[in-house]
Structure 1
Amino acid sequence: MTAAAHFMTAIHTIVARVIDPLQPAVVSACAITGGDFRALNVIPDDVRIGGTARAYSAHVRDQLEAEIGKLAAGVAGMFGIRASYSFTQRIPPVINETKATAAARAAASVATGKPVVTDFPPSTAGDDFAEFGNRVPGCYVWLGNGPAVEGALHHNSRYDFNDAAIQTGARYWTTLVEQQLR
């Protein structure tokens, strides 16, 4: 368990010490299991750690994969234990196509009757939409949902979707489809 705790702490240094500071990247350990709460004096034989690594490019994602593996092997060596490591490349970076983005902006402007915010900072949010975008031109669209209640954004157990956003979203998608059919 001590080795797992060391790994969990050290994993967050990968982005700072290895990745080009001009290339955004995120590494997070998000799940850990090990031990038995009915036997707190027994050192577990196995500990499992799971997490996510995100980047804007496949090159940086590959760097993250390699560095996490090196860290796992290094910590295991330091503690005299074995580490088994696997990295599943699930979702590539989302890249918006220019024409699809223009169509999305136009539909949003018509649907809301308001100026469309287009200068969002890049995000490391991941979504399987990226797989669609690798096959056909597309644009990932963010629908405003209002302020986070008590700071709880999606992927937080306290997140509460703002149902008032449904009407705006339906208007947007209807407008986009109508414009594409013209």
Structure 2
Amino acid sequence: MLKRLVVGLLKGLVLGAAIGAGIQYGLHSATGGPLLVTSGGLLGYLLAMGTSGTTGVFAGKPPWREGAWIEALLKGLVGVGIGALLYWLGSAYGAVQLPFPGVGSAAWTALPVIFLPAIAGVYGSLVELDNSDDGGAKKGSGGGKGETRGPRARVAVDDDDALGATEHAASTRPARRRI
């Protein structure tokens, strides 16, 4: 469980840092400095929702695995709502001023390179904890009650038909010879 938590946190941090750095340093403000998001503004919510949605798709079970695209899509959609919630909590109750190069002092929720990895890391760890590794049957599982082994399956036959079927099968089988 701890391994999954750390893996999910790392996946979220890497995705959030990549998206946050691309937004922060790819889109410069008019003065040539880093992009500042208005803390609690619409752009911050959109970035948080997009990043956590992306994290929901790629954390946990990979979407390219057979039958996993529906689960990845649902985790991405839930991630959109969780991202908005986490950004709202951070900007409303935890807006702490941090020194940042080139900006001076700004709220951490105004810097995409800081708040996007934090949100994606939290949601990535939640998604990875929810991930169940059901890639196949457990090794060493014996035949439990109700399991059928091999290609044969049990078929329920009516009593009247069963008597006739066994008599028919006995009459058509060749006799066994004992040596």
TM-score where L is the length of structure 2? 0.29
Larger Rg: 2
TM-score where L is the length of structure 1? 0.28
* Higher-RCO chain (CA-CA 8 Å, sequence separation at least 6): 2
